[in-house]
Amino acid sequence: MKIRTASRLTSLRIAGLALLVAGLAACATPFKADVSRFDAQLPAPQGETFAVVADDPALAGGLEFALYADHVEAAMEKLGYAQAAPDAATLLVRFDYGVDDGRERVRSTGYGYADPFYSPWYGSRFYGSAFYRSRFYGHHGLWSYGFYDPWFGGSDVRSYTVYTSGIDLKIDRAATGERLFEGKAQAVSTSNRLQYLVPNLVDAMFTGFPGNSGETVRISIKPEDQKVKKSDKDRSGY
């Protein structure tokens, strides 16, 4: 009897470990962003220099903006462009970012749940656009999605908050002000931490850069490439 009990406990422990490993693997999903880019003959990186500047004057000179601008600068340098001071650069890269105040989502794992309008990455199909945005709300409220739950049911009902984040990138010719490139990257996740979101959105923006003008694509950032700190792990939207 003791041998059987010990064997049964061992089996339960092994099963529990397997479930834990499976759960951690499920969390290691890619960071997904919808990227829309428009290219009007962006010059090749042959002697061209650039400077990243805040598109929102309120962000200019801020330490937080400088942190995120570093990621944009690294991406531009990787493409072959050389960094310069704003008054000496041939290209001005105008950069902005934000995250909304979040929307409550209700989900039931029981019988009878139906949500015909919601798609987890495209927001509400009720609004008919992956890039639905109402208006600028300022630094931390730049983006807005609409979510709609017409009905739900079941015994296990849970609520959670989802946030829509985004970055806006524009490249102008410094001498003339001519617009050469425009791009937007947006994502929906359960994290509202810009320190986690913005680097991943920048990576998505520069994946396959400059892309096909006028095309909107879904970009997935591999889990091992995601910029996430220990404090973000429980809010990273896995």
Structure tokens at 127: 């609004």
Q: What is the pLDDT of residue 140?
A: 43
Task: Tell me how far apart the alpha carbons of residues 28 and 26 are, in angstroms, rounded to a whole number.
Answer: 5
Tell me whether residue 60 is exposed, middle or buried, using C-beta atoms within 10 angstroms of its C-beta: 0 to 12, 13 to 18, 19 or more. Answer: exposed
What burial letters (b/e) apply to 179-194, b meaning 16+ CB within 10 Å?
ebbbbbbbbbbebbbb
Query: Where do runs of H (alpha helix) occur along the chain?
Result: 2-27, 63-79, 194-205
Domain boundaries, the chain: 29-235
Query: 3: how many CB neighbours lie within 10 A of its CB?
Result: 7
CB contact at 8 A, 48 and 16: no
> Using one digit for the tens of pLDDT, what is the confidence trace for 124-174?
332 333 333 433 334 444 444 333 344 444 456 788 899 999 999 999 999
Express each pLDDT in 170-214 by its tens digit.
999 999 999 999 999 999 999 999 999 999 999 999 999 999 999
Which residues lie closer than 8 Å to 175 by C-beta, 6 or more apart? 90
The identity of residue 72, as a single letter, is: V
- Which helix H or strand E contains 119, and what residues bound it? strand 118-119
Backbone angles phi, psi at 143, to 5 degrees: -120, 150
Helix (H) or strand (E) holding 130: none
- Per-residue pLDDT tens for 31-61? 999 999 999 889 999 999 999 999 999 999 9
